[in-house]
Amino acid sequence: MNLPKRPNPMAVAGMRRLPAPARWGFVLLAMLVLIAFTGKRQHARAIPDILVEVVEKEGLHFVDERETFALVQGQILQDIKEQGSGHALRLGRLERLLERNPFIHKANISQDLAGLITVEIHQSRPIARILGMSRGDSYLTDEGKVIPVSPLYTSRVLLVEGPGARRLIDGLQQGDTLAQDLYTLINRLRADPFWAAQTAEIDVSAQGEVRLYPQVGNQVFELGYPDELDSKFRRLQAFYDFILPAKGWGRYRQVSVKYRGQLVCQ
């Protein structure tokens, strides 16, 4: 059986010899030290562990996990400072804060019973780079949003240039017909494995006339206005399937399908 330890007689005798104000001062000092130590331990326990994961990267490197961790940790510390450690963390507010970053498409934050906070980041996915000349370049995402280019990472995507191309920057949100038709064309090129690999650049005139520049070959393909795409791409495919094998790669420099039902090679 373990008996409680008796206080040191010498220490007790020393305390008794002190004047009453000094004894109370010593006790008060000891209590303050104990409170400070306990508060420090509780504050340390109030800061949860954080796990940041950028999911489905697929070659994208717009979001730095360490910077995201620092931002999340700083916001959590701010919440604890404002509300105290006993209150629930404002995770929805933190998600909205992260989603202000144009390179973050979606942020999902959860906390398990052990207190671990998991931050899942889904990056924005560019499908084209709009060459903006004096206004600077922008990315067009797969959701039709326009975001700035990143100083950290360059995405290898289709290039879109020309005065008509810049209508994508504001036009998609405003219902501009040309902007919507260009967006449809870009997605059509992405969906076709051949044209996704073959198309390097799109040039769009102020009137909406489209020219395609291929990765392989010296031809320029004139689409005209980006409509009736099924018919136009069938004719372009016929050029590759029948005319190139018969005439060779260097015979024609310009191929036009801008006029209905026609395939004009020059």
The rounded distance, in Å, linking the Cα atoms of 169 and 181 is: 13
Sheet holding 50-55, edge to edge: 50-55, 117-123, 104-111
Tokens of 131: 């060459």
Query: Percentage of the chain surpassing pLDDT 70?
Result: 81
pLDDT value of position 33: 45
Give me the pLDDT at residue 169, please: 86
pLDDT, average across residues 7-31: 49
Question: CA–CA separation, 186 vs 204, rounded Å?
Answer: 12
Reported as a pLDDT band with limits 50, 70 and 90, residue 1 is: very low
Q: For 158-176, write each residue's pLDDT tens digit.
A: 999 999 998 898 888 888 8
Average pLDDT of span 131-150: 88
> Using one digit for the tens of pLDDT, what is the confidence trace for 216-250?
988 999 999 999 999 999 999 999 999 999 998 88
Residues contacting residue 136 through CB under 8 Å, at least 6 positions apart? 148, 149
Whole-prediction pTM: 0.75
CA neighbor of 111 nearest in space, from 94, 99, 96: 94
Residue 232 and residue 157: Cα distance in Å, rounded?
A: 23
pLDDT at 46: 57
Confidence of residue 87 (pLDDT cuts 50, 70, 90): confident
pLDDT confidence of residue 253: 94
β-pair partners for 199: 214
Q: Is 205 helix (H, G, I), strand (E, B) or coil?
A: coil
The closest of 206, 208, 140 to 168, measured between CA atoms, is: 140
DSSP annotation of 251: S
DSSP character at residue 121: E
Average of per-residue pLDDT values in the chain = 83
pLDDT per residue over 103-140, tens digit each?
999 999 999 888 899 999 999 999 999 997 667 899 99
pLDDT at 121: 94
Give residue 188's pLDDT band: very low, low, confident or very high (50, 70, 90): very high
Q: What is d(CA 206, CA 197) in angstroms, rounded to the nearest whole number? A: 26
Query: At residue 44, does pLDDT exceed 60?
Result: no
Question: Is 17 a residue whose pLDDT tops 80?
Answer: no
